[in-house]
Structure formats: C-alpha cells, structure tokens
Chain A
C-alpha cells in the first residue's frame, strides 16, 4: 500500500489507457498554466518592443520604454504606496479590538456586527467608489469641506474597501486564540492593555501581518474605488495605468506593468509564503498543545 500512501489518486498504474489519461491530464494542466501566465509574458514582450509586428513576437527589441516612463507614474506609485500602507494600518487599528470582541462570541448579536463589518465586501467595489464620490460632493455643499480629490478622500475609500478583509482575517485568528492564556494573565493582575499588547497581539502576529499584506495589495491594485476619488495631483498607480492605456498602448505602460509584476513576485509572494508556513506551524502547534495538555 506504500504507493497509495504517497498521496491520493496515485494508484499503481497498469495499462496503456491509464498512461494515456495521465498524459492527457498533464497536457491539459500545462495548457492551463500557459493560459494563466500568457498575459504576464506578453506584458514583458510588449514592453520590450521596438516596433509592433504582425506576428506574436515584435520585430525589434529595445529597453527604451523603461527609460521613458513619465514622471506621473512614479508619483502615482508613491501615492499608491502611501495609501496602501495607511489604509491597511487604519483598518488594523480599528478592526483589531472589534475582531477580538467578535471572535469569541457566537451569539446573535455578534453575528449582526459581523455582517455589518463585512458588508462593504458584499457590494461591487465600484459602488463604494461612486457612492463616496457623490457623498463628498454633497458634503461639500452642506458643510463646506469636501474630501473629493484629496488623499483623505482616497484613504476613506480604500479603508472601506479593505476593511472587511482585515476584519475577517483577524476574526478567524481571534477565534482560535486560547482563552486560558488571557485569563491567566488577568488573574495575575494584568491590565486590559497589557493583555492586548503582550498576550493577544503576539499570538495574532502572523494573522496581522498576513492581513496587512492582503489589504495593502488590494488597496494597491484597486481601480474601481480610486477612479472616482482621484483629483488633480492625486492619483494612484492603477488608475494612471488604466487612463494611459485607454488612450494609447505604447510600450511605456507595459513597462510600468512589468515593474508591478516584478514587485509582486519578488516582494509579496515570498512574504506570503513565509506567513503561510508560519501560520500552519502555529495551527499545528496549538492543536498539539490542546491534545497534549
């Protein structure tokens, strides 16, 4: 049975039909993977083109596009980065107490709050953007201050967009926190702040980091909300790329795209893998502790 023990679906194959099926499924898998990677590959190719040719590959290659990236993309990237960071941290600060509150309780009341805090993920994000836009316009006429076209306005929009994901991740982890550690700390005289800062937060750290990463990426990639909340001098990278691409498809916008792809695969993915491995170990560790104790 050792062959079967190596993983489900790997029976000892006997016979050409099985081998043929294997080959077909492998071929299909390769096709699927190529399908997924194709747009990225072509982004790279398109950014290197010297001149568009009628075939798959351009006639000449050059790196000129990378040198010609307009400054607007860099300032937009900077705004996007600041926005991603501040929206995620804001979401964290506001969601953490709420997640700890909701995570333990299973009553109807906590369910209602849970639904409320996830509500902005239930609507298409474009609605968040458009409704906030008209909200700002209205606010401007009523109280004289409009966040339309400002960083603050974008921040609010991204906060609303990103918050459900932060809340869900934190709540899932808060639900598995061992309550006895906090109770022990409290019986030993710890204040609520101490319990939060020195007991709960370190235990939730991997979930916090993972949620921050997820929210930062969601905020960075967003177009639906940002498109309506940008203003003169304040724009995000995705919106800049989108607006640029709507008018012309020069290699420059592909070059920006390739840089984005590189940023994702070089920075974000390894961090995410580390987080996942760490979380799995925590999960296994807490299960072992519970079974052993």
Chain B
C-alpha cells in the first residue's frame, strides 16, 4: 500500500482538492472584478444554459469539436490505412505523424495563420472561391484543428489496423472479394472501435484547445475554453469561468459516454478478440476516455 501512498496523496492534494474548490466556485455569484459573494447560487449555470448568446457559444463549441473529429476520422483513416498496409512510405509517414503530434500546437496554429491570413490560392481553394482570407472565420479554425488532430488519430489507428490478422483480407481476396468489399466487410468492422475511440480523443482534445481558436479565430470565433481563459485572465470573473469549465467537462463527458454506450451495445467485434498487445500500442491509445474498445 505504501507503493500507492505518495501518488494518492499527490492526486488528492494537487488535483482533486483544487478541482472541487474550483467547481464550488461556480456556485458563487460574481460581485465585482475578482470578487464574489459566498452564498450558493445557480445563477451562473442559469445564465450559461439559457441566454441566447451563451447557447450559441455552447453550440459553436460542440459544432467545432464534432466537425473536427469527423473530418479527422475521414482523413486519418485513409492516411492510417496507407501507413499500416504499405511498407514503403508507411513508416516514413508514421514518423512524420509522431513528429507532428509532438510539435507545439501554437506553432502549428501559427503556421496556419501564415497560410490563411493572406489572399492566396490556398485560401481560395479551401473556401471554394469564397472569402479572401480565412483567419477570423470558423472554417479557418476547423482547418487548423483538423490538421492538429489528424496525426494523433493516425497514430492511434495504425496499431489497430496492424493488429488485424493478415490472413483475413487475404482469404477474402482469394475467395473473390473486391478490394472495396474487403474493406467494408472485414477491415472496417474490426478497426471501427479504434477509429471511434480515436475520434473521441480528438473530440476531447479539441474541446480543451483554446490557443488554436484564439489565434485563428481573431476574436470572432468563441468557444467555451476561450471563454474560460478570458474570464480568468481578462475579466477576473472566476465563478463564470468555473461554471463554464464544469459545463465543458459535462459536455465532453456526455458525448464520450453517449457514443461509448451506443457503440458498446453493438460490440460484435469483441468476440473476435482483436486486442492490441500492450507492448505495441502508443501510450496515448491506452488513454481511452472511458471508452475501452474491446
């Protein structure tokens, strides 16, 4: 038990206690710059969940995270599939993704600012002939968050795809199945849970991100995490920040739990026992946020 002692103490003192105190802050009412009354009240939550502008804020947050995860899954699956099944450039691309994940998000966001803030053909391509610049728009933020989340998804999907026994698609081909059919009926069902798990991870990390929406949104794209940051650093409105934090946490938890529940009820792949051996999986893949595929 002494093995666990220090860590338990650390968690209780340095994480749980601050978190509980912070959550309790959300129940106080702001009375001025940096001050708040000490009576318990739900007014912060009521404002956050009923005001029109705040509901729009919540919707923007959820929309950003959803769109990002879906796009990341689409792009990440294609790249991951290539990585897993093609030896030639596959490992080079995998290394590239490792490097991208380890690169600072601020640096990547800055790179996108450099691309999207000028009127050039790349911007024209992305906005399909629309606006002259993509900074300060929702689309610009989506582009940056997708490019930030995709390498992570690739890193999570490749081990899952590699864990599928090679014989299965080969047998399908020898029995006359086309490539598309094999992918749809064999590869996809076996890798589905890894993709969903990765998608949820991207969802959660996009919900937590505020540097990317801040740098690329130019003040016009508002998400919950940005509100928290502004509340604490600029407005000194701690109760509101705390309420926003709790709401953000609840949103992420609900989405993750909801998707896991829906997916878990159709878990037929479980029986096929496609499990990743711990020694081969990237550490991040094991940090499933209450979704353990299989």
A-side residues, CB < 8 A to B, are: 1, 4-5, 7-11, 18, 21, 25, 28-29, 32-33, 35-43, 45-46, 52-56, 94-95, 97-98, 100-102, 113, 116-128, 130-135, 138, 156, 159-160, 163-165, 167-169, 172-173, 175-176, 210-211, 214, 217, 220-221, 223-224, 227-228, 238, 241-242, 245-246, 249, 253-254, 257, 260-261, 264-265, 268-269, 272-273, 279-280, 282-283, 286
Contacts and interface: CB of A to CB of B under 8 A. Distances in A.
Interface in B220-235: 225, 228-229, 232-233
B121 interface: yes
B187 interface: yes
B128 interface: no
Contact of A246 (B81, B214, B225): B214
Interface string B150-166: 11000000000000101
B75 A32 contact: yes
B10 interface: yes
Contacts of B204: 124
7 contacts: A39-B108, A101-B4, A121-B287, A124-B207, A131-B18, A134-B25, A245-B106
Interface stretch (B38-46, B92-100, B265-273): B92-100
B11 A119 contact: yes
A168 B240 CA distance: 33
B275 interface: no
User: Interface of chain A, helix or strand or loop or mixed?
Assistant: helix
Interface of B: 2-4, 6-8, 10-11, 14-19, 21-22, 25, 75, 78-79, 81-82, 85-87, 93, 95-100, 102-115, 117-122, 144, 147, 150-151, 164, 166, 168-170, 173-174, 178-179, 182-183, 187, 204, 207-211, 214-215, 225, 228-229, 232-233, 238, 241-242, 245, 248-249, 252-253, 277-281, 283-284, 286-287, 289-290
B65 to A, nearest CB: 11
A207 to B, nearest CB: 8
B18 A132 contact: yes
Given A9-B179, A122-B290, A159-B10, 10 more contacts: A5-B170, A33-B79, A36-B79, A41-B111, A42-B115, A116-B11, A124-B249, A127-B249, A160-B15, A282-B279
B8 A217 contact: no
5 pairs of A and B residues whose beta carbons are closest in the complex: A39-B111, A124-B208, A283-B279, A131-B22, A8-B169
A112 B290 CA distance: 13
Contact of A221 (B19, B98, B102): B102
A33 B211 CA distance: 23
Contacts of B178: 11
A40 B279 contact: no
Nearest to A57: B120
Most buried by A among B93, B104, B144: B104
Contacts of A132: 14, 18
Contacts of A56: 118, 120-122
A98 to B, nearest CB: 4
Given A9-B182, A127-B249, A43 B107 contact: yes
Contact of B232 (A120, A130, A217): A130
A178 to B, nearest CB: 13
A120 B11 contact: yes
B22 to A, nearest CB: 4
A269 B103 contact: no
B279 A241 contact: no
B18 A254 contact: no
A135 B278 contact: no
A94 B269 CA distance: 37
Given A39-B112, A134-B25, A264 B15 contact: no
B154 to A, nearest CB: 9
A126 B95 contact: no
B103 A123 contact: no
A279 B280 contact: yes
Contacts of A37: 96
B208 A125 contact: yes
Contact of B3 (A4, A8, A100, A165): A100
Nearest to A100: B3
A268 B26 CA distance: 41
A12 to B, nearest CB: 9
Given A126-B245, A130-B245, A46 B114 contact: yes
Contacts of A134: 18, 21-22, 25, 238
